Amino acid sequence: MLSKSQAKVFFLGGTIVTFIIFLGLSWHSLSSEVPKRTHEENLSAKVIRGKVLWEKNNCMGCHTILGEGAYYAPELTKVYERRGEGYITAVLTTKAPWQPRGRKMVAYGFSATDAADLIGFLKWIGETDLNGFPPKPAYKK
């Protein structure tokens, strides 16, 4: 029968071994995969300013990006490809609340430069290799 000290070894041993594997895999991902998959060479000052704005206004509080965030407004990872620059600029700069089908977005009324930075961020993130996410709708005619 299992003794208390054996149970303790199971806990400590299991934790240490899995944590070391986790650190190793993380190191591998961050050092060699992320720079290529996210096209880190395209991470310009403009894109970074866009990310700052993205966080400053808690866009993730309604939308998702990389599938992460809230489920009140559309997933935006591929929005640049889906809607294009003109549409997104209109949404970001309008002073009247944007409300498709009655669901309101905060009227941020961004300046043209801020909107361009945010679009730079969305364009950059849209080019990330996400292992096939978001999926293509199989039954779409």
Write out the residues near another protein by the rule CB under 8 A: 2-4, 7-8, 10-11, 14-15, 18-19, 21-22, 25-26, 28-30, 33-34, 37-38, 40, 43, 47-48, 51, 54-62, 64-75, 97, 100-104, 106, 121, 125, 128-135, 137-140
Identify which of residues 69 and 89 has a Cβ nearer to another protein in the complex: 69
Shortest distance (Å) from residue 140 CB to another protein: 3
16 vs 10, 19, 20, 23, 27, CA distance in Å? 10, 5, 6, 11, 16
Q: Could you tell me which of 131, 122, 71 has the C-alpha nearest to residue 92?
A: 122
> Residue 91 CB, nearest distance to another protein (Å)?
13
**Dist CA 28 CA 116 (whole Å):** 34
Of residues 72 and 87, the one with the C-beta less far from another protein: 72
Question: Crossing angle for the helix pair 112-126 and 45-56, nearest 10 degrees?
Answer: 100
